[in-house]
Amino acid sequence: MSILLIGGEKGGTGKTTLAVNLAALRALAGRDVLLIDTDIQASASYWAQSRDEAGTQPRVACIQKFGKGLQTEVRDLAKRYQDLIIDAGGRDSLELRAALVAAERVYIPIQPSQFDIWTLGRMDDLVKTAQGFNPDLRAWVVISRASTNPSVSEVAEARSLLADFEHLSLSPAVIRDRIAYRKAARDGLSVEELKPGDSKAAEELRALFREVFDGE
């Protein structure tokens, strides 16, 4: 069983994209997974609803949870599902803080820009505080929405700036800004299920999936 949080302070980094794709891949692997949407924009919930309306199998169950009771709810739900994947909105919220205390792992997507990297100091502090209550919590930063242009060196530049954060590790996975993610989301699919598919997008997600759930 695993409790995974996809969250961070910065909006527009692809948190929901990662959360729904990982949930779908986990379901395709035969796991009983619950997607928990704690973002008032409810994008993950709309994705799951589109999937249900299309009758896509396997089904990915999704619920919305808000407020200070989230931590208790997550621990209760963990008894009923094999995996929980929490999508937290791009801001410092009660839900993000509660999810950090309940989760085993958090992946923090950022775009490879200085503006996004500046927000990581605050996330480093939030993870440190959460580890006081939840010592097993581990946190990774994953570069998301990176340029598909191989001549752009922003990923390497971002990696060089991420070494200063004591409580955050850098994921080797890189998720690039591909239209396939938007096409798949529109229909309640993962990029693995998209027809015609995008092999590069699918392999990026599979690499992150293997990292997150290695051996489980």
62: CB partners within 8 A, 6+ apart = 23, 34, 35, 36, 37, 44, 45, 47, 48, 49
> pLDDT tens for residues 24-47?
999 999 999 999 999 999 999 999
CA angle 7, 92, 105 (to 5 degrees): 30
Quote the pTM value: 0.94
79-88, 155-164, 203-212: least confidently modelled range: 155-164
Check: CB of residue 124 under 8 Å from CB of residue 167. yes
Choose between 67 and 48: higher pLDDT.
48
Mean pLDDT (the chain, rounded): 93
Here the CATH number for the domain that contains residue 88 is 3.40.50.300
Which of 192, 199, 175, 144 shows the shortest CA–CA distance to 25?
192
Averaged over 21-25, what is the pLDDT? 98
> pLDDT tens for residues 155-171?
888 888 787 899 999 99
In the prediction, which pLDDT does 123 show? Answer: 95
Length of the chain: 216
- Domain, as residue range, for 62: 2-213
pLDDT band of residue 88 (cuts 50, 70, 90) is very high
Instruction: Domain count for the chain, please give it.
Output: 1
In the prediction, which pLDDT does 158 show? Answer: 81
In the prediction, which pLDDT does 114 show? Answer: 82
Decide if pLDDT at 152 tops 80.
Answer: no
Dist CA 119 CA 10 (whole Å): 7
Report how far Cα 130 is from the mean position of its chain's Cα atoms.
18
Which of 134, 123, 62, 122 shows the shortest CA–CA distance to 98?
134
In the prediction, which pLDDT does 209 show? Answer: 98
pLDDT band of residue 115 (cuts 50, 70, 90) is confident
In the prediction, which pLDDT does 215 show? Answer: 63
In the prediction, which pLDDT does 89 show? Answer: 79
Give DSSP secondary structure letters for the chain.
-EEEEEEES-SSS-HHHHHHHHHHHHHHTT--EEEEE--TT-HHHHHHHHHHHHT-SS--EEEE--STTHHHHHHHHTTT-SEEEEEEEES--HHHHHHHHH-SEEEEEE-SSHHHHHTHHHHHHHHHHHHHH-TT-EEEEEEEEE-S-TT--HHHHHHHHGGG-TT-EEEEEEEE--HHHHHHHHTT--TTT-SS--HHHHHHHHHHHHHHHTT-
In the prediction, which pLDDT does 91 show? Answer: 78
